[in-house]
Chain A
Amino acid sequence: MKTITHHTPDPMLAAYAAGTLPPVFEVVVATHVSMCDTCRASLAAHQAVGGALLESADAADLPERLKSDVMALLDMPAVDPQPAPRRSGIYPGPVMQALKSRPPRWKSLGFGVRQSILSDGPDGSLRLLHIPPGRAVPDHGHNGMELTLVLQGRFDDETGTFGVGDLEIADEDLEHTPIAGAGDPCICLAATDAPLRFRTFVPRLLQPLFRI
């Protein structure tokens, strides 16, 4: 397996542990951690910090019945929670969960580029992108921060090469043109904390064509 070189930054892992990331970013971070042992270990470190804070919290009084209630419930059969979705092909568990365990429903965006929208709302959007070799990765909104995680193939831009498991984080200031690499089509999980903006998509897609 290729080594992952672009990781989830620490503040983002801490925010994931604490639960303050927007839900669409959470899916990307949970997916990256599923693929990246380094970040899984870092996340465990942040959980350890949370645990240390929990252990040093002042003990609060509990009503007596709380313990007896809990003890009485131990033998009750638990309401069976839905089992966590498993990886399917190139799609790790958290992606399958966002897909509701169904295959992606690809819609063409032209030039062989396809997308499958997993969620889109005022708090952000999440989608899968399928980009043929040599094509530009569509812009996923330039109003906020965008996270792009490679699930298959690779892309390159001014900042480097991103292979399977690599996470690119771009804010509004980054001017870049990611291009899918040779070989397999590049499939990415992309999230932005702003709603999708289709208008910005076409010009970026055309850029590499005009350059050729």
Chain B
Amino acid sequence: MLLVAEPDQSVRNVPPPVVHCRARKEKDAVARKREISEQTAWMLAIRDRRDKQAFARLFDHFAPRLKGFVVRSGLDAAQAEEIVQDVMLTIWRKADQFDPERAQVSGWIYQITRNRQIDVVRRVGRAMPEELKHEDDHEPDAGQVVALEQETGKLKQALKRLKPEQRMMIEKAYLGDLTHQEIQAETGLPLGTIKSRIRLGLDRLRHELKELREP
């Protein structure tokens, strides 16, 4: 179990100072859990406990948006539904690859979706970076998870503030309607701005990756 546990009954039997310390720790953990998004909590329940109820909630949240998203990339309803089904099953089956310190649920699902769409078109698997190894008993650092969520929250705000034309270009780029030359040439595309919004998250990410690599 991650991040926070049910209140531990055994603490009643330990001396007072320890109770204090433990209680404070639990209070912190509960406070942090409140800050962690529902989506992340569902995904961790799916990953760690194979929780089908959490999966059903995740499905209700993401599946309709996922269909809306892939329809925008030019698929008809039937094709889009097939992608939704494949992606949702992949989320269940590859849940062990989800790492809340490095990715938001939505970003993780975005990449699974694009990978699936490309595989359907090309009929050959695309080249993907090596997975980073992480220890099985590694508990996510709640502070890091929350920081990443806050940064992506700011990113969503930044996206909302874009001019409609800019927003359209961004969508085209991330839905796969622009080549890299077109993205490069599109000077109005605020890739730099967007990236600076999540720079804090990135700095933490880089730091963590470095530690993973240098045992």
Residues in A lying within 8 Å of B, measured CB to CB: 9-12, 14-15, 17-21, 23, 25-27, 29-31, 33-34, 37-38, 40-63, 66-67, 69-71, 73-74, 78, 84, 86-87, 92-94, 97-98
Contact = CB atoms under 8 A, between A and B. Distances in A.
Contacts of A56: 156, 159-160
A45 B65 contact: no
B18 interface: no
Interface residues of B, number: 78
Given A21-B180, A42-B195, A55-B106, A37 B209 contact: yes
Nearest to B205: A41
B66 interface: yes
A37 B52 contact: no
20 contacts: A20-B176, A23-B124, A25-B180, A37-B209, A38-B206, A48-B152, A53-B110, A54-B62, A56-B156, A56-B159, A59-B65, A60-B64, A60-B68, A60-B71, A61-B67, A67-B59, A73-B89, A74-B55, A84-B130, A94-B129
B205 A44 contact: yes
B205 A19 contact: no
Chain A interface secondary structure, helix, strand, loop or mixed? Answer: helix
Contacts, number: 209
Interface string B163-207: 000000011011111111001100000011011001001100110
Contact of B131 (A31, A78, A84): A84
A17 to B, nearest CB: 7
Contact of A47 (B64, B103, B183): B103
A48 B129 CA distance: 17
Contacts of B129: 30-31, 33-34, 40, 43, 93-94
Chain B interface secondary structure, helix, strand, loop or mixed? Answer: helix
A63 B198 CA distance: 36
Contacts of B108: 47, 51
Nearest to A55: B106
Contacts of B115: 19
B85 A94 contact: no
B31 interface: no
A185 B62 CA distance: 50
Q: 6 closest A-B pairs (Cβ-Cβ)?
A: A51-B106, A51-B107, A15-B180, A50-B110, A59-B64, A57-B69
B180 A14 contact: yes
Nearest to B204: A41
B80 interface: yes
Interface string B34-58: 0000000000000000001001100
A74 B52 contact: yes
Contact of A14 (B160, B191, B205): B191
Interface of B: 52, 55-56, 59-60, 62-69, 71-72, 77, 80-81, 84-85, 88-89, 92-93, 102-111, 113-115, 117-118, 122, 124-132, 152, 155-156, 159-160, 170-171, 173-180, 183-184, 191-192, 194-195, 198, 201-202, 205-206, 209-210, 213
A118 B178 CA distance: 27
B99 to A, nearest CB: 10
A47 B104 CA distance: 9
B184 A19 contact: no
Contacts of B93: 78
B130 A34 contact: yes
B114 A10 contact: no
Contact of B122 (A23, A29, A57, A86): A23
B63 A10 contact: no
B63 A50 contact: no
B202 A42 contact: yes
